[in-house]
Amino acid sequence: MERLRLGMVGGGQGAFIGGVHRIAARIDGQWELVAGALSSDEERAAASAAELGIAADRSYADFAEMAKAEAAREDGIDAVAIVTPNHMHAAPAVAFLRAGIHVICDKPLAATPEQAAEIARVVRETGRQFILTHNYTAYPLIRQAQAMVAAGDLGEIRVVQVEYAQDWLTEPASNKQGDWRTDPARSGAGGCVGDIGTHAFNLVSFVTGLKTTSLAADLDAFVPDRQVDDNVHVMLRFDGGAKGMLWASQVAVGNENALRLRVHGTKGGLEWAQENPNQMTFTRFGEPKQILTRGGAGANEAGLRTTRIPPGHPEGYLEGFATLYSEAAHLIRHADSGTPLPVGVHAPTIKDGLDGMRFISACIASSKADAAWTALD
Amino acid sequence: MERLRLGMVGGGQGAFIGGVHRIAARIDGQWELVAGALSSDEERAAASAAELGIAADRSYADFAEMAKAEAAREDGIDAVAIVTPNHMHAAPAVAFLRAGIHVICDKPLAATPEQAAEIARVVRETGRQFILTHNYTAYPLIRQAQAMVAAGDLGEIRVVQVEYAQDWLTEPASNKQGDWRTDPARSGAGGCVGDIGTHAFNLVSFVTGLKTTSLAADLDAFVPDRQVDDNVHVMLRFDGGAKGMLWASQVAVGNENALRLRVHGTKGGLEWAQENPNQMTFTRFGEPKQILTRGGAGANEAGLRTTRIPPGHPEGYLEGFATLYSEAAHLIRHADSGTPLPVGVHAPTIKDGLDGMRFISACIASSKADAAWTALD
Amino acid sequence: MERLRLGMVGGGQGAFIGGVHRIAARIDGQWELVAGALSSDEERAAASAAELGIAADRSYADFAEMAKAEAAREDGIDAVAIVTPNHMHAAPAVAFLRAGIHVICDKPLAATPEQAAEIARVVRETGRQFILTHNYTAYPLIRQAQAMVAAGDLGEIRVVQVEYAQDWLTEPASNKQGDWRTDPARSGAGGCVGDIGTHAFNLVSFVTGLKTTSLAADLDAFVPDRQVDDNVHVMLRFDGGAKGMLWASQVAVGNENALRLRVHGTKGGLEWAQENPNQMTFTRFGEPKQILTRGGAGANEAGLRTTRIPPGHPEGYLEGFATLYSEAAHLIRHADSGTPLPVGVHAPTIKDGLDGMRFISACIASSKADAAWTALD
Amino acid sequence: MERLRLGMVGGGQGAFIGGVHRIAARIDGQWELVAGALSSDEERAAASAAELGIAADRSYADFAEMAKAEAAREDGIDAVAIVTPNHMHAAPAVAFLRAGIHVICDKPLAATPEQAAEIARVVRETGRQFILTHNYTAYPLIRQAQAMVAAGDLGEIRVVQVEYAQDWLTEPASNKQGDWRTDPARSGAGGCVGDIGTHAFNLVSFVTGLKTTSLAADLDAFVPDRQVDDNVHVMLRFDGGAKGMLWASQVAVGNENALRLRVHGTKGGLEWAQENPNQMTFTRFGEPKQILTRGGAGANEAGLRTTRIPPGHPEGYLEGFATLYSEAAHLIRHADSGTPLPVGVHAPTIKDGLDGMRFISACIASSKADAAWTALD
């Protein structure tokens, strides 16, 4: 099958997540990167493009020009990956969607609710695919967990614990990644809550299927002079009575990227941690705890569908991310060519993006109101 | 050195924690159990006493009688262990204190604030030792952690995460232990929050030395018809600006006795989990995480003082509990005979008990007020 | 029930294992230490005895005198614990057995095969109980594992991996414990192989029930000038065709007391590690791995019988050791008073001691013969 | 930089390792798969090629034809990946080498020593690059471990423990993968020893730099009627006096792909396990154990060089494999175009392949001689 053509906005030299998207796009052989506006600095854009084997005439210094030019080409890109800082998601997203090009966008959706709403409006109007890279939902065992909850293996959910702890911002930011993530002009009003809190929130929503009705949040900026939060405590209330706690931190010394989810229901409980994503524990009440492995004994269809290699051969972060790119390929081929969708395809969409923005806003509002319960809507 | 003489109230056949106290009292050879009012049922009391090698004339059916009789004997008990359900702590505590006998009391302090206040008053008036068995503070690595925080190894504390998860009350209680713990007349108004939440709270206070100024709590009774909480979500604010989260649950399927503490400061972070209490991780910011073991490389004085056997030879719950009994022996010998106190002696006291009662009350009040911030004082 | 009276040979100030035996004897309240020849130095013996609350007239400087005197007393000891270095096991064992007193002896049985044979002969002749403290066989999950293998849960055993790694002798010995263990005059010809290799071997024999027919061993003394082995590699062949590997080391940097057992059969496999002895994994072929916990879901009778407190409340090394003392109490009460034996009582005996001596001898002989297969008989 | 052109022999529909090679070749964007003889069945070859986007005229049913045709093309392949069963490595390797095309070959090198010797001769004669995919040597922490040993961080190596346990052949083989691996005509005389034992052996050699001088092996075929070994016990002796044990098994129930390495020296020890490859423990004698993470605090140049994404974002098996493809690209660009080699480039070569064949032969010979010490040369 011919590869889909991918463009990229952002992700030039010195960036982090752009490189991740590129590897992810390559892993399953569904995509070819052929165009880019990799930097707003024209020279850096060109140098980055050359390094990546993008033809010189498809390296653009300007995303608007790129959208226009690619839309006009016979062999124009099928989708664009937007990997810029948060405040630079909306403008290119709108430009490409309006140009008829599908969008794969990094999270969170935008820096402001207004930007988010605009993207959503244009997605609705254009009917183009919009995939938000909440990549953690694509880990095979997370897919398996979601299916287990949906199948009732845990009974009725009562309690959810989610946490996402890092320590890289324990001291004032000193590199490009830290700079923009702690600058509200670029990251939006949320710091840690937007950068990783949204991942945690999205993971809970995906796995449990529960709708969060309200939350009470206590946000802090522990590092002196930091303008955005770096530690986030949230209590959650879900539709139907389940309760949750969410902790996100970028100042929790001793943690690298410790996203961890625990779900407890009337009949069972499960636990998964991102740093060793190839195993998950599951306990049926009154029985011994089981260690479920990616693709191993006890794997279900949802987990197997997103698994590439045998159990015991660890897949990691890049493979999970790659699964999103393959899901995107399915969705886009289906949209553009009517190729049938495989059973179980899933990718986070504009809805997840809007939910994430509501989560950020509600956390900030609640925290300003001394952690008052704040509805998510 | 001659053994101290111990009496016991409660802990007859079918009880759980009484047996733990007895083993704990034996481990270091500092105590001899010589008297008891082991049950309010006279026959069961006598049978239990016989089994334990207590002389028939020192098996009492009534704690009041016991206090009086033991106080009158030349060879009367030095201390009494009170291991009854919560609502039966105050009366015997008062009786023995008034009789001049030191008290070792199980937690939480009492079923009601009034009972707690009365005990406190009598402790103050009599000057007798009062030791509350928050046993988790006696694990060697917890002693070590406390000393590390106090020495500034973690810098200024920012974030504390504590949790105590069990699953044994996932379904309606069906045994003696579950019965009284879910009956507000015997346990007090708090269920899970009193039974294990207080342990978690006490552990945080001990290790960090931080004073909790206020909390916001969301309590649930998930099991139908349960009259007390079985799941507890709390956000904590500490004097000086640090923040914390506390989760206690008795319906978290997949957990046996999962008490876990994490403390993060400006310079370092540590993590300890009760189910494998012989190791703790510690990270200095920017350095590799270390695994500290009980008595192993990196052990400090506080940890070594409470260690019996070499690293790699696991000590457990009973040894930690036994340390409290040995600490009690030091304190009582000091009080009664002027024996010098070893450096580092520590046992939870009436103050910890009152703090725990305030914690329970604040949690319940906050939860009733829709998780409003509630001061602890 | 009245406590049994225990005497002790060895274990004076500065010793290690004597203290362990004393705590173990106290934990379940079945024993009272009333007599001792705690040191061959009379003054140290007396001081040690005083510390331990042994009456002055029952502190002996000489085990022979002690055996004679205690045998003559109405209230003489029921059993003696021998906790001296290996070369000093045989003489006291023989003396006490001949005096009609049961013996609890530390491992390995003796420093030489001749000493071992003499003890065995006298055990046979006197009919007294002889319990060898291979304490690791008394961990609840090891009892459970043994019962699972016996019940066929693993099918026919094919492969056994056992290892016991320490690092405390990585450099030349510099304390009392290290001194005698590396001195062939006191430890016997085996160093590491006798001190911890025998534990590993005994554990395999106990859990699997397999008889080792022959072995090939490669022993080293890595530390310059060390006179006994400090690293032991062994391949094992069992009756019936199963195979095993055994590694014991006291120079494996990074290991404290890492005894670990893995057993694999046609139908299942299990794994247990001493440093976290409250859990074991078990896998039925083709099913998810289970985590079995001491006393938790999936516990069998053998495991529950040796469990004191609920799952999640860790029991450790001292409790396992204490179980041996309680088993000894059962066996001795049965022998002396006809008290019925509980179902499942087990303690290592002279047979285990002789097997261990054969194991040591075979390892040394094989290693001298360039790891030639050497029969165990 | 332009991508290198890759061909593939084997790896058609239903194969396992071919797919791994293809993903590995894509991850870093250095390779493009453009030609293949994917199956000896012409139709299957064509269908597989079509699926993979290989042009029809570059899908060959015959590797000899492919070598000839590709060598003749201006845009012919730079290298071929040989991913056939072991007995089918030599013929294509020789054909492509002779055609001037570099070879990337799966392990073990060949089914027989004769085949291996022929490949080696042709490599020598042609001077082409020959890379053997002992992929485990490319994990970042294994690179880091190798550099740490080389730098003397562990002191002089004394003891090495390596094991590679699986359970998928616990019962008679029932799929394509199991079939050829248990058929000596296709796998060679070694079963488990060749398939995974060689990985374990290679890992030891790479990390420690030690030369194995002799070994004593005890091989078994536990499954009835199995014609090759499925469980392998080996004692190793290294040049300079260090000792090792190696266990490989495909019948160890409870293990998926449990490759694990431990190295202990006079100054330090380390431990790594493949199933969670992003962490490794390291202990300096007398200091607390450290957890080293891929790319985290304590990472060295060798580890960082082979790391793509930040610590806490797990890389897995496919990334390690991909690193070999990128190393191959460096070596081939250097050979063909004089591109400078980056510092630290490493890939297993024909030498590793020959060492692996010697290891297999020595194990089989030793086992037949009742585990007699057998030299490796």
Q: pLDDT tens, A4-44?
A: 999 999 999 877 899 999 999 999 999 999 999 999 888 89
**What is the percent of chain B where pLDDT is above 90?**
92
A141 touches chain C (CB under 8 A): no
Type of residue found at B27: I
The domain covering C4-128 belongs, at the CATH homologous superfamily level, to NAD(P)-binding Rossmann-like Domain (3.40.50.720)
DSSP B252: -
How many CA atoms does the CB half-sphere of C41 hold within 13 Å? 8
Amino acid residing at B171: E
The 10s digit of each residue's pLDDT in A247-256 is 999 999 999 9
pLDDT at C1: 67
Q: Which residues of D touch A29 (CB under 8 A)?
A: 22-23, 26, 52-53
Q: Is A377 an interface residue toward C (CB < 8 Å)?
A: no
Q: What's the mean pLDDT in B259-286?
A: 98
Q: Do D290 and B290 touch (CB under 8 A)?
A: yes
> What does the alpha-carbon distance between residue D275 and residue D316 come to, in Å, rounded to a whole number?
9
- C287 pLDDT more than 80: yes
Which residues in chain C touch residue B312, judged by CB atoms under 8 angstroms apart?
166, 255-258, 274-275
Per residue in A106-148, pLDDT (tens digit) is 999 999 999 999 999 999 999 999 999 999 999 999 999 999 9
How far apart are alpha carbons B76 and B61 in whole angstroms? 17
Euclidean distance between CA atoms C150 and C303, whole angstroms: 13
Q: What is the pLDDT of residue A1?
A: 67
Average pLDDT on B179-194 reads: 91
Question: Chain A partners of C298 at a C-beta cutoff of 8 Å?
Answer: 287-288
**Interchain contact, C298 vs A286, CB within 8 Å:** no
Task: Among B73-82, B94-103, C17-26, C39-48, name the one with the lowest average pLDDT.
Answer: C39-48
A269 and B254: CB-CB below 8 Å?
Answer: yes
ipTM over 0.90 threshold: yes
What's the maximum distance between 2 C-alpha atoms anywhere in chain D? 64
Q: Does B300 touch chain D (CB under 8 A)?
A: no
Q: How confident is the model at residue C179 (pLDDT cuts 50, 70, 90)?
A: confident
**Whether C312 and B255 lie within 8 Å, measured CB to CB:** yes
Whether D276 contacts chain C with CB within 8 A: no
Identify the helix (H) or strand (E) that includes residue A221.
Answer: none
- Fold designation for C138-308+353-375: Dihydrodipicolinate Reductase; domain 2 (3.30.360)
D351–chain C Cβ distance below 8 A for any pair: no
**Residue B180 clears pLDDT 80, i.e. is over it:** yes
Q: What is the pLDDT of residue D215?
A: 98
pLDDT of residue C29: 95
Residue D1 pLDDT = 67
Q: Residues 6 or more apart from C216 whose CB is under 8 A from it?
A: C234, C235, C366, C371, C372, C373, C374, D216, D218, D235, D371
Residue pointed to by tokens 């075929």:
D221
Nearest to A285 by CA among B250, C285, C294: B250
CB contact under 8 A, B170 and A266: yes
Which CATH topology does A139-304+353-375 take? Dihydrodipicolinate Reductase; domain 2 (3.30.360)
Q: What is the pLDDT of residue B325?
A: 98
Q: Do C264 and D249 touch (CB under 8 A)?
A: yes
pLDDT digits (tens, 9 = 90+) for B49-67: 999 999 999 999 899 999 9
Q: Enumerate the residues of chain A whose CB falls inside 8 A of the CB of residue C297.
A: 286-288
Q: Is any Cβ of chain D less than 8 angstroms from the Cβ of B133?
A: no
A175 touching D, CB under 8 A?
A: no
- Which band of pLDDT confidence, cut at 50, 70 and 90, is reported for residue B173? confident
Contact D288 B296 (CB under 8 A): yes
Q: Would an 8 Å CB–CB cutoff place B266 in contact with chain A?
A: yes
**Cα separation of C255 and D252, whole Å?**
24
B281 in contact with chain D, both atoms CB, cutoff 8 A: yes
* Identity of the amino acid at B113: P
The widest CA-to-CA distance across chain A, in whole angstroms, is 64
Cβ distance of A231 and B243 shorter than 8 Å: yes
pLDDT of the residue at C368: 98
Q: Is D155 an interface residue toward B (CB < 8 Å)?
A: no
pLDDT (mean) for C295-302? 96
Residue among B282, B288, B293 minimizing CB distance to D298: B288
For B271, C236, C359, D138, D202, the CA distances from D133, given in Å and listed in that order, are 40, 33, 42, 9, 11
CA D258 to chain centre: 15
**CATH T-level topology, domain B137-311+353-375:** Dihydrodipicolinate Reductase; domain 2 (3.30.360)
Nearest by CB: D235 against C218, C222, C284? C218
Q: What kind and span of H or E run contains A69?
A: helix A63-72
Task: List subunits contacting chain C, requiring 3 or more Cβ pairs under 8 Å.
Answer: A, B, D
Is pLDDT larger for residue A150 or for residue D180?
Answer: A150
Do the Cβ atoms of B297 and D287 come within 8 Å? yes
Confidence of residue B1 (pLDDT cuts 50, 70, 90): low
* Average pLDDT for C124-141: 98
Residue B47 touches chain C, beta carbons under 8 Å: no
Cα–chain center distance at C61: 26
Please state, in angstroms and rounded to a whole number, the distance separating the CA atoms of residues B90 and B112.
9
Q: Closest residue of C to A284, CA-based?
A: C297
Partners of chain A (3+ Cβ pairs below 8 A):
B, C, D
- Considering only CB atoms, B231 lies closest to which of A159, A233, A266, namely A159
Instruction: Select from D176, D294, D317 the residue whose CB has the most chain A CBs within 10 Å, as the one to mutate to test that interface.
Output: D317
When CB atoms are compared, the residue of D3, D28, D318 closest to A309 is D318
d(CA B281, CA D294): 18
Asked if C34 contacts C106 with a C-beta cutoff of 8 angstroms, the reply is no
Give A176 to chain D, closest Cα distance, Å: 14
The angle subtended at Cα D365 by Cα D361 and Cα D369, nearest 5°, is 170
Residue C151: partners with Cβ closer than 8 Å, 6 or more residues away? none
Distance of CA B253 to the CA centre of its chain: 24
DSSP secondary structure letter of residue C221 = -
Tell me the C-alpha distance between D319 and B293, whole Å.
34
What is the least distance, in Å, from the CA of C195 to any CA of chain B?
15
User: Taking CB atoms and an 8 Å cutoff, what residues of chain A touch B285?
Assistant: 167, 170-171, 253
**Residue B105 burial (10 A CB sphere; 0-12, 13-18, 19+):** buried
pLDDT at B263 over 70: yes
Which residue from B minimizes the CA distance to D284? B297
Residue A261, pLDDT above cutoff 70: yes
Per-residue CA distances from B298 to A176, B94, B145, B264 (Å): 37, 43, 11, 19
In whole angstroms, give the CA distance from residue B68 to residue A311.
68
Q: Which residues of chain D have pLDDT under 70?
A: 1
Question: Which region, left, alpha or beta, applies to residue A199 given φ > 0 means left and ψ of -120 to 50 means alpha?
Answer: alpha
The minimum CA-CA distance between B304 and chain D, rounded to whole Å, is 15
Q: Rounded mean pLDDT of chain A?
A: 96
The answer to whether residue C275 neighbours chain B at the CB level (below 8 Å) is yes
Check C312 against B256: CB less than 8 A apart. yes
For residue C2, pLDDT over 90 is answered with no
Residue B176, pLDDT score: 78
Report how far residue B246's alpha carbon sits from residue B232's, in angstroms, rounded to the nearest whole number: 8
Residue in A with minimal Cα distance to B155: A253
Domain boundaries, chain D: 4-128, 137-311+353-375
Q: Which residue of chain C comes nearest to A298, CA vs CA?
A: C288
D291 part of contact set with chain B, CB < 8 Å: yes
Largest pairwise CA distance in chain C: 64
Say if residue B295's pLDDT is above 80. Answer: yes
Cα gap A309→D317, rounded to integer Å: 9
**Cβ contact C312–B20 (<8 Å):** no
* Residue D74 burial (C-beta neighbours within 10 Å; 0-12, 13-18, 19+): exposed
CB B363 within 8 A of CB B219: yes
CA distances from C289 to A289, B252, C314, D172, D360 (A): 8, 21, 21, 21, 32
Q: Which residues in chain A touch residue B253, judged by CB atoms under 8 angstroms apart? A: 154, 264-265, 267-269, 283-285
pLDDT of residue D176: 79
Q: Under 8 Å CB-to-CB from C74, ≥6 apart: which residues?
A: none
Q: Are D83 and D99 in contact (CB under 8 A)?
A: no
Is B318 in Cβ contact with C27 (below 8 Å)? yes
Mean pLDDT of the B281-298 span = 98
pLDDT band at B351 (very low <50, low <70, confident <90, very high): very high
Contacts of B158 in chain A (CB under 8 A): 220, 222, 231, 251
Which secondary-structure segment (H or E) carries D320? Answer: helix D317-337
Q: Are strands C268-273 and C258-265 parallel, antiparallel or unpaired?
A: antiparallel
Residue type, C288: P
